[in-house]
Amino acid sequence: MQYFNLHTHQFENQETILELVNQYPWEFDDTIPYYSIGIHPLFINIKRLESDFEILEQKVGLSGCLAIGECGLDKRSETAFEIQLKVLEKQLVLAEKLQKAVVIHCVHAFQELVEMKNRLKLTTPIIIHGFSKKVQLAKQLLDNGFYLSFGRYLLMNPELESVFNSIPENRFFLETDTSDYTIEEVYALAAKYKKITVTELQQIISNNFNTVFNK
């Protein structure tokens, strides 16, 4: 593995890239070698929730499943926030039981997310994907044990350079999500911001991968 893509919806199947492909229970693809699987707060379907959890519990135990997610909280969602909280908590409890990492989608609900993590006394690694906020929030999340993953916003918003540079090397990942940017492009800019070579960055993220995903 030269590159690790923490979160993508597009399986490219390249030899040099280990892709953690996002999967949903209702459209699971068993040909994808490494994946995360979870119930996204924007796509909670009350009528389908029981079967979604049944599939999730089946697939999360397979060797190709590296994480639960993306799951999380989103105050833009049409699903009532109380339901989102219950769906997320159930997934976090499962992740803790299986000691699986969690990939989190969070919009306007970081305080509630931190409170839930601390209330449940979670020890499994939790990664906020697509981070694009201020240094103060990044510090609060780091202080509470979260990892942060950066992707398209790093390339789109130059103001994120100072935020990214404030993240310790053992607490971040890189991703592409649904963007057209390649993971190589994300690594190149991240290495430039950190003032290191891409090879050095690859080693840092490889170390983080080994820590978080026990590989």
Q: How crowded is residue 176: how many other Cβ atoms within 10 Å of its Cβ?
A: 25
Alpha carbons within 13 A on the beta-carbon side of 80: 4
Annotated binding-site residue? 70: yes
8 Å CB contact between 74 and 41:
yes
Annotated binding-site residue? 129: yes
**Could you give the CA distance from residue 167 to residue 191 in angstroms, rounded to a whole number?**
13
Annotated binding-site residue? 7: no
101: exposed, middle or buried (Cβ count in 10 Å: 0-12, 13-18, 19+): buried
Annotated binding-site residue? 169: no
**Could you give the CA distance from residue 9 to residue 3 in angstroms, rounded to a whole number?**
16
Do you find a cis peptide bond into 70, omega within 30 degrees of 0? Answer: yes
Phi-psi category of 4—alpha, beta or left, where left has phi over 0 and alpha has psi -120 to 50?
Answer: beta
Annotated binding site for a divalent metal cation: which residue ranges?
70, 105, 129, 177
Annotated binding site: which residue ranges?
70, 105, 129, 177
